[in-house]
A and B are shown apart, each in its own frame.
Chain A
């Protein structure tokens, strides 16, 4: 196949990828959706018209109105304010959990893929063990073990994601180990840590970034799922989307809006991260774009 010359000098991988991302419609939609939730979460104390924890029992279970855009719950608390504050929990817990899983997984993956040998074999068996427990079950077991709380949820979700990142990074590193530029660096006498950090890791980053973005979507769903199963932060003063849904499920008949708004919040934020993740995949690896 004929290769056309580049029309202008390359601006570097990341700037190229960023420009492609900005031209990717679905990714922009994803970014906008995420931005809405981030702004809502950060400025919740300013935007929220009411205190999310204080209700007025005279105002219990009122359908959406101008005074209460998303209605009120059983205790007369403003649902809109609670959804806004819920974004704080979901986003911070989700993001921190994925970051922890990513950091831990990358260390394990880098050690396994970089060192090889016995260490690699042992670490990979441990990862196999963690991956043998399907999906959210591992997180459920960990929260059941550690007890309620935001930190526990972060640990649980982080641990359940770490093996995925570790395996992904190890796979990329193994493939890179045989590439010409790594052989060249080695033949020039570069040390193994230097090759790993300077030559291999930067080239193994793109699938990790994509995977982490997509993991944010599932992490938000998982965090809400834990809350839904009664394994949430466990503090009734905290508004959490999953717990709000459990509370609301008893009033499905009379107050379906109490299910609709937190449910839509979880779904839309997950859609945002999924769109952004797919967009990143396409812009970081232009060969994928059909």
Chain B
């Protein structure tokens, strides 16, 4: 088992190395000079040379690359051209919001997807199954921004049930401590702030969770149907066990495996989806930061964020693989 984990961790290293080379070249091969980007219209040859020297851009390419990797290994991703702050410091402020949104979307997708999938699997090809199939087709076909604006229009603009954008009403004066708006609201001891933070999370979670919801539903349905046709399930029924007991102890316990794997694999799509969701809902997370960085041509930030997203994605995939190996006694670690 340990060897399996070590090997999986080691296999991620060449991927990260390759990605760092590509991203490094991506930034260096761009037409234009970072110094010019920083200085804008004030650029003079002397100033450009000074900044080049300060950023180490006058050194050979491989030295620059090594310095860049050395920085990465120390958590130093460089600083934004626009506001001068380090990527790491802004990331730490913004990442909690993205985690909150991603967890919200996962709760929505899993909390609704598994019951829906089980319901549909109960009578395959029945009308409930048909309705669930149509719903999940819709879920994977509607773009996040279309669903997002539709939800904002219906529940925010027309019905006024839920706040349309942002994370917390600024009038509540919640001091950011952890930057998780819900946790900060709890820390402030103001119940209205907690309610407000949760209310703000609902619509973006639904928008971001729609694709994972569709996929979790489909997989749960397929997995439950698969397991239901197994001989041991028939045996369990033949023994006279109650339907509920067969369902919980014999079917679901085995149907869980593919479902958990798929849930883990959704993290990538959630991270990518966060870019669009956060833009729709003016959510101050990492995703909307990518978009502003692109708008400002702040390429160090873009490059670093792609690296960080890949790192998160690979880490989660690794954990899913290990979790799968732990959960499934039938898997071989080779």
Contact = CB atoms under 8 A, between A and B. Distances in A.
A132 B141 contact: no
Contacts of B144: 225
Interface string B109-151: 0000000000000001100000000000110111111100110
Contact of A252 (B14, B138, B157): B157
Given A144-B294, A266-B143, A271 B138 contact: yes
A229 B292 CA distance: 10
Interface residues of A, number: 40
Contacts of A145: 26, 30
Give the dominant DSSP class at B's interface.
helix
Given A134-B313, A135-B269, A259 B141 contact: no
Give the dominant DSSP class at A's interface.
helix
A217 B313 contact: no
Interface stretch (B38-46, B68-76, B233-241, B270-278): B270-278
A245 to B, nearest CB: 6
A285 interface: no
Interface stretch (B85-93, B182-190, B251-259, B302-310): B302-310
A229 B19 contact: no
A229 to B, nearest CB: 6
B19 A225 contact: no
Nearest to A246: B145
Contact of B268 (A135, A141, A144, A290): A135
Contact of A263 (B146, B268, B309, B314): B146
A229 B150 contact: no
Given A134-B268, A259-B149, A267 B142 contact: yes
B295 interface: yes
B291 interface: yes
A259 B157 CA distance: 14
A129 B142 CA distance: 28
Contact of B18 (A126, A144, A290): A126
Nearest to A230: B295
Nearest to B164: A252
Nearest to B30: A145
B15 interface: yes
Nearest to B26: A145
A132 B314 contact: yes
A260 B28 CA distance: 42
Contact of A144 (B269, B279, B299, B314): B299
B137 A274 contact: yes
A252 B294 contact: no
B290 interface: yes
Nearest to A222: B143
Contacts of A256: 153, 157
A10 interface: no
A274 B309 contact: no
Most chain B CB inside 10 Å of its own CB: which residue of A137, A228, A256 = A137
Contacts of A187: none
A230 B291 contact: yes
Contacts of B280: 249
Given A137-B275, A266-B146, A267-B143, 20 more contacts: A129-B19, A132-B16, A133-B306, A134-B268, A134-B309, A137-B271, A141-B306, A217-B140, A225-B276, A228-B143, A229-B276, A230-B294, A230-B295, A252-B157, A259-B153, A263-B150, A267-B138, A267-B142, A270-B141, A290-B124
21 contacts: A125-B15, A128-B14, A128-B18, A135-B272, A140-B275, A145-B30, A221-B141, A225-B276, A229-B275, A229-B291, A245-B145, A245-B149, A249-B280, A252-B157, A256-B157, A259-B146, A259-B150, A266-B143, A266-B146, A267-B138, A275-B137
Return the 8 tightest CB-CB contacts between A and B, nearest first.
Answer: A135-B272, A134-B268, A263-B146, A270-B141, A129-B18, A132-B310, A271-B141, A134-B272
